[in-house]
Chain A
Amino acid sequence: MRSLPPLSIFVFALSLLIACSHEQDATAGSPGAVDVTAAWARPSLPPHENSAAFFVVHNRTDHAVQLLGASTSRAGVTELHHMEMDGDRMRMRRVPSFTIPAHGELVLEPGSNHLMFFELPAPWVDGEKVDLHLEFDSLPAVDVLAEVRPL
């Protein structure tokens, strides 16, 4: 019976490990940890044919999540931008990430946070759908389709 204490420690450790990985599953790996809804994009405009996309990210986990980057097959460059009105002045900046608070949401909308697209090989026109690939810090990437519609 001398071997029992080490074994019980092993079992205890194993059960902890399972509990931990299970815990991680619930917040990270399972579908619904973050949901992306209401995704849309504006049509691109000549002569530059740039565009912007908007959506809402819901964070259902107990910790803040970072949206670190995005891409699409429909643009050469995708950037995260923040825009704000300071009185009647419009100001736009590129930002490294967006934070979605624990059990909170991040809203991307015209005149505020948005994804901005450059180097479009073809114009984005009303009615079509654009694929978006969103990358987060601690969670699997999320793919969504954004419908192109007028501002």
Chain B
Amino acid sequence: MKWACLGLLLVSLGCSDSDAGLLDFQGIGGDFTLTDEQGQKFSLAEHRGQVYLLFFGFTHCPDVCPTTLVELQEVFQRLGGAGQDLQILFVSVDPERDTPELLASYLQPFDLPVIGLTGTVSQVEKVAQAYGAFFEKVALDSAAVYTMDHSTRSYLIDGEGKVRYIFRYKDEPERIAQIVRKLLP
């Protein structure tokens, strides 16, 4: 994991700033196949041309995940009509509990074009590794039974499936909208 962080730091430093805000990341991101909240196969490679904002979370998440979803609603408000060309990918880091059905009912109250993704633990681990993300199952002496420590970055993916920006938790919706807009028609 330390190596992944170091790698992220190095590529961040080496990024070109040619597109006025958009970046290129070598060795971060890539295609993957998971299962969506309808129980259908979702393959990133089959969606060239679509711009995504991907983040990792889980439905038992106390407030970071709901807060991120609320802030994404604000991003869409700022994007206005341009927002119709952006989709959110919510990748569960708790696939043992997060079935497609649970993801569907968790995401339904949010007024967002969001696809919930889950799979086997090893499938999700591979995606997290590819994106330089981190998660770990931690047992709790609690009604929650266990929690998932996880990283909270969001990845902006362009129509070629490449990561073009990495947002931090609590980045301003206005700033996110500003950068996302550069990829939208």
Show the binding face of A for B, using Cβ within 8 Å: 42, 45-48, 50, 52, 76-77, 79, 81, 83, 85, 88-94, 110-111, 114, 116, 118-119, 150-151
Contact = CB atoms under 8 A, between A and B. Distances in A.
Given A88-B169, A89-B150, A114 B142 contact: no
Interface of B: 59-64, 66-67, 70, 102, 105-106, 108-109, 134, 138, 140-144, 147, 149-153, 168-169
A145 B140 CA distance: 28
A89 B124 CA distance: 17
Instruction: Label chain A's interface by main secondary structure.
Output: strand
A150 B69 CA distance: 12
Contacts of A52: 62-63
B155 to A, nearest CB: 12
B152 A85 contact: yes
B61 to A, nearest CB: 8
B59 A92 contact: no
Given A47-B59, A48-B60, A90-B150, A151 B143 contact: no
A46 B109 contact: yes
B151 A111 contact: no
Contacts of B105: 46-47
B152 A90 contact: yes
Nearest to B71: A151
A90 B149 contact: yes
Given A47-B59, A50-B60, A110 B169 contact: no
A118 B143 contact: yes
Nearest to B140: A94
A89 B63 contact: no
A95 B142 CA distance: 10
A77 B141 CA distance: 13
Contacts of A116: 62, 142, 144
A118 B62 CA distance: 11
A85 B168 CA distance: 12
A17 B138 CA distance: 51
Contact of A79 (B64, B66, B134, B142): B142
Q: Which 6 A-B pairs have the closest CB atoms?
A: A118-B143, A47-B105, A77-B143, A94-B142, A90-B64, A110-B63
Contact of A92 (B102, B106, B147, B153): B147
Given A47-B102, A91-B149, A92-B147, A151 B66 contact: yes
